Structure 1
């Protein structure tokens, strides 16, 4: 097969991202215009782009506020764009949260709140409950990030340590109608999990959260545990009348993006298969599993025949040690995959976060192939060192395999593509 493999995989990534383009995603889901005011609150790493697209499509002035990650801001015609820290919240996030509350204050039943929500909002909207501080919420986030817990567990716990998550923002906007337009970055596409559901309540209880903490041996500050154990942590119930008349739509997701990438691969002459859009688990374990599938295809022609590109999405996790190096879940996945496919010709992979940032650095992910570790050793590097140091970014930086497209303006979770060619 004569092709530029990295260009092909990058093309598929670009196609997946384009399928979640805010202008395209919002065009067919605009709500009915209200008699009164239209207030837009946009939250997440792709919030500025979503807000700009909504302004263009709405065509008349709106009010409200946009909250996004540092470096992710974009121009909006009417809405102020505020930036805050991610993945650990900061004081700017606290101020941004108060600006969001102010935007929905004093509304009537004639008014409309349009909530444009995408991944990243959990950290961008810190709102410590009474008796807790920003430092408590920062400690909570650090502990959750280091625990290796899946995103659904982390967000279920966060909802019980907040004044805005778990539907509380929608409750604060009552009696205005709230329409939530959600770009999903969570496995299963439950809108209540995206950004910890500021406008979408769910039925997870404080006791459920405590059980999750206990089951995973997550160590949280005593002040946080005391709050979750108290009646004050109870999140609104989805059946609460305050939510009657509200609407929720998932307008873009990993499923839709993977389907678009598969169609693009077919158009380029390469058959495609989607394993799943909701894969979770430890990144290194998922990397080993994908490597096993790729080897089986390459060497035995099962369960698929080469040439083929194997696609998957979801959100893996990384359980951090005491002094982790650089990188994120996608490079951790690839370092494991590279070990599993070493010596098997014709396998090339790209794993990247669709928001453009994977973990602690400025890359979305990286490329890997059957020569990745061989090339590392040829440069005098020990791949095992990078595994032990939890520094996958360092490994792929040395081998010149980093993939860094920059912020994409959307976020539909991780994108993984493994191109498997026939053996020589």
Structure 2
């Protein structure tokens, strides 16, 4: 094993391998359903939904129709499937109209028809559909409170599906008696399909009490109308024993696990041993960074538990509890915390990025850091610790010249982290 001459180029190649492994053209073809007697209707939502639709069109040699919704700027050309765009991470009026379009598209189907649901991360924000008595402003308030709470994505989506007319399996129930086949790109630690995009086509196994417990645990400041809705039986989502789901199929077609394995294989091709720590890491970004840093420093100083050179790979979805209104995202915050913990340590280089190409509020996927990042920030006249305290990790990485900008990748299997120790 030999150390790479260009650590950042090496790390970027691992990220590219991870993203390539999750591309729709690779994953969709293996999960094509049987053609129906009747119509084939495609629906979908998420930051990679347009690319999924494009790949499905290419592989489906029979009539089809449908509509999917993706984030502004993430569209891809399709011939038979209409692509709508809406806001993410905060829902907007376009998303409200798109959710209604999806629900209208699956109305009036028969048991001879097939619905193919293309679902990936980002669908929760892209499909606002407040139930009767609530408004888009109420759903915005829920979204903002959850994003600021530090709650893990599974808990966020558990609550979201109880304040919706489309999430928590309701979109699939609306398509009954047609068969619904869900092809899902998972951005959820553990790959629970009921949690991806808040499960618009997958029934809810938890029940409304789980949502009420999350409301209490995080002391969420929600409008009274939302609180009243969650307290009532009206918020319950369809359960797995609902007969409307009996004939449906759910397939995870891409995930963080597959992408990490691809990155591991690429590292070994380049002559560096790679260790996958986990594909399901959750927790506060800055705290997760300190754990990763402790492991990296142990390897750098003592060659244990792994021998240099080695690259540590991990995935999942960390969280950021907002204390200020800075610029950044969970991967940028992870990196700034890591940079502070590695300050002055030689031979450690890291990349962290969101596999969809956008980390939080700005246009970067994430960034790079090493033992000199904090020094470069200080040399530019900024205080890295103050920037971390202000949730201003993007500014810190930009100051150091450490941002990674890729543009939309066409897929989304969540966080990708790679730490090289040489």
Given the alignment of the two structures, is residue 51 of structure 1 paired with residue 57 of structure 2, yes or no? Answer: no
Which whole-Å CA distance do the structure 2 matches of 1:4 and 1:244 have between them? 53
2:296 pairs with 282, 294, 297, which one?
Answer: 294
2:344 match: 343
Which whole-Å CA distance do the structure 1 matches of 2:32 and 2:389 have between them? 49
1:298-327 deviation digits (Å, cap 9, x = unpaired)? 001111111000000000000011x32100
Which whole-Å CA distance do the structure 1 matches of 2:218 and 2:4 have between them? 48
Deviates more, 1:204-213 or 1:364-373: 204-213
Does the residue aligned with 2:81 lie in a helix, a strand or coil?
coil
1:219 match: 221
Aligned CA-pair RMSD: 0.8
Which whole-Å CA distance do the structure 1 matches of 2:354 and 2:127 have between them? 21
What is the deviation of 1:2? 4.7
Equivalent residues in 2 for 1:104-183, closer than 5 Å = 104-183=106-185
Equivalent residues in 2 for 1:292-371, closer than 5 Å = 292-321=294-323, 323-371=324-372
Calculate the TM-score normalised by the size of structure 1: 0.98
What is the deviation of 1:204? 1.2
Which whole-Å CA distance do the structure 1 matches of 2:184 and 2:4 have between them? 40
Does the residue aligned with 1:80 lie in a helix, a strand or coil?
strand
1:325-357 deviation digits (Å, cap 9, x = unpaired)? 100000000001011111111000000000000
Q: How many residues align?
A: 420
Calculate the TM-score normalised by the size of structure 2: 0.99
1:230 match: 232
Given the alignment of the two structures, is residue 245 of structure 1 paired with residue 247 of structure 2, yes or no? Answer: yes
Does the residue aligned with 2:101 lie in a helix, a strand or coil?
helix
1:92 match: 94
Q: Is the 8 A contact 1:152 1:193 kept in 2?
A: yes
Structure-2 change in CA distance of 1:249 and 1:2 (3 Å): closer
What is the deviation of 1:221? 1.4
What is the deviation of 1:388? 2.2
What is the deviation of 1:383? 1.1
What is the deviation of 1:170? 0.4
Given the alignment of the two structures, is residue 32 of structure 1 paired with residue 34 of structure 2, yes or no? Answer: yes
Q: Is the 8 A contact 1:55 1:61 kept in 2?
A: no
2:18 match: 16
Q: Is the 8 A contact 2:190 2:280 kept in 1?
A: yes
Q: Is the 8 A contact 2:39 2:63 kept in 1?
A: no
Q: Which ranges of 4 or more aligned residues in structure 1 deviate by more than 3 Å?
A: none
1:90-133 deviation digits (Å, cap 9, x = unpaired)? 00001000110111110000000000000000000000000000
2:400 match: 399
Q: Is the 8 A contact 1:298 1:346 kept in 2?
A: yes
Which blocks of at least 5 consecutive residues in structure 2 are unaligned?
A: none
Given the alignment of the two structures, is residue 279 of structure 1 paired with residue 267 of structure 2, yes or no? Answer: no
1:372 match: 373
What is the deviation of 1:271? 0.2
